[in-house]
């Protein structure tokens, strides 16, 4: 992939290949890709100064008659890990069944192996039989599923938040406890692609300067920590954007969903004017799924997570 040349073609390809997903925030991704294409001289200069930036734009494209007709994107999950992520595997409809996707995947495998990768992770829609067949034939195995949910202009729960759960701003004195909770509450599936990082934890409420930047149009980020009997039992992260906002919940083992509801009171009050809010939950986290659906989130797709250990021949 050459970011100076291919980004706009990749955006066109993804918009066609993943048309069903565009109405749930995908258009913002397309706008971002096309903006990066327009700013490509800047990216060329930045890569000259910092070659590691190219890692954010790695992959392979298939070009015929000057047109990008196939793509695969590859990225290292973390600079300190040997796990890599494959995404945006796409081929234009009229070019399918010619082996293009397989050859792009083989090129990605070879690149990852050459750069010391020992495990590859990818996600695929549960209802995409053709992709499942391809990946399974190359040695991938399904290890679990993630549920993608969305809510249009969500509202906080109508019932009062549970009285035994207190939701507060972050407190720097409790960051270690918060990190341990985030680590425990992150499912093994999510850890493969988004390892929990202590750097994500805020140390205080947003500053006046942060609020000023938000009023000027920058994304607004908030987080809340839930306490029960003086112990942190849940975290909520929210990012409010003009078009599509995101929500993440990290909750210890619960049965009633009380912690989730307390956090949703705060988070959805913050996101109440947002057009669309998206979140992703491990399919095995039934209590969190029920809490989200109770406040209006709907399941839009299920993604199977597949893994290929590179020690295993393919």
- DSSP letter for each residue of 59-90: EEEEEETTEEEEEEEEEES-TT-SEEEEEEEE
Alpha-helical (H) ranges within the chain are 3-17, 26-38, 40-49, 100-114, 129-137, 175-185, 188-193, 208-215, 258-270, 286-294
208 vs 170, residue with greater confidence: 170
Please give the pLDDT value at position 166. 95
Tell me the per-residue pLDDT of 106-136, one tens digit each, with 9 for 90 and over.
999 999 999 999 999 999 999 999 999 999 9
Query: Is 53 a residue whose pLDDT tops 50?
Result: no
- What's the pLDDT score for residue 78? 84
pLDDT value for 295: 94
Mean of the per-residue pLDDT values of the chain: 86
Question: What pLDDT is attached to residue 253?
Answer: 79
Neighbours of 154 (CB within 10 A): 22
Query: CA dihedral in degrees (153, 157, 163, 166; nearest 10)?
Result: -20
Has residue 52 got a pLDDT over 50? no
What are the structural domains of the chain?
3-117 (3.40.630.30), 150-302 (3.40.630.30)
Is the pLDDT confidence value at 85 over 90? yes
Q: What is the largest CA-CA distance in the chain?
A: 66
Would you say 270 and 157 are in contact if contact means Cβ atoms under 8 Å apart?
no
The predicted pLDDT at position 292 comes to 96
Residue 202, helix vs strand vs coil: coil
Whole-number percent of the chain with pLDDT over 70: 85
How many angstroms separate the CA atoms of 239 and 257, rounded?
Answer: 22
Average pLDDT over residues 202-224: 81
Q: How many of the other CB atoms lie within 10 Å of CB of 284?
A: 14
CA distances from 165 to 1, 34, 182, 268, 280 (A): 50, 44, 17, 17, 24
Question: How far is 31 from 37, CA to CA, in rounded Å?
Answer: 10
DSSP at 284: T
């Amino acid at each position: 992939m050459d970011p100076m040349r291919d980004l706009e073609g990749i955006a066109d390809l993804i918009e066609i290949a993943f048309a069903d997903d565009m109405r749930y925030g995908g258009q913002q991704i397309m706008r971002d890709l096309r903006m990066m294409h327009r700013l490509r001289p800047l990216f060329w200069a930045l890569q000259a100064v910092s070659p590691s930036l190219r890692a954010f734009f790695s992959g392979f494209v298939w070009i015929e008659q000057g047109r990008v007709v196939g793509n695969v994107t590859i990225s290292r999950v973390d600079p300190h890990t040997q796990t890599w992520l494959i995404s945006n595997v796409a081929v234009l409809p009229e070019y399918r069944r010619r082996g293009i996707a397989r050859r792009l995947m083989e090129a990605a495998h070879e690149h990852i192996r050459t750069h010391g990768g020992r495990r590859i992770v990818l996600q695929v829609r549960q209802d995409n039989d053709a992709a499942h067949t391809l990946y399974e034939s190359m040695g991938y195995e399904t290890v679990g599923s993630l549920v993608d949910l969305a809510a249009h202009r969500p509202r906080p729960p109508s019932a009062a938040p549970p009285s035994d759960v207190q939701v507060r701003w972050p407190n720097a004195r409790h960051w270690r406890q918060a990190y341990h909770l985030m680590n425990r509450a992150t499912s093994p599936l999510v850890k493969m692609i988004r390892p929990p990082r202590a750097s994500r934890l805020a140390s205080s409420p947003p500053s006046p300067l942060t609020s000023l930047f938000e009023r000027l149009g920058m994304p607004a980020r908030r987080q809340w920590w839930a306490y029960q009997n003086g112990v942190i039992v849940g975290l909520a992260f929210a990012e409010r954007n003009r078009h599509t906002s995101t929500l993440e919940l990290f909750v210890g083992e619960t049965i009633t969903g009380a912690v989730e509801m307390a956090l949703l009171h705060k988070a959805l009050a913050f996101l109440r004017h947002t057009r669309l809010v998206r979140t992703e939950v491990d399919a095995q986290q039934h209590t969190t799924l029920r809490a989200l659906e109770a406040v209006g989130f709907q399941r839009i797709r299920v993604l199977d997570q597949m893994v290929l250990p590179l020690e295993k021949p393919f």
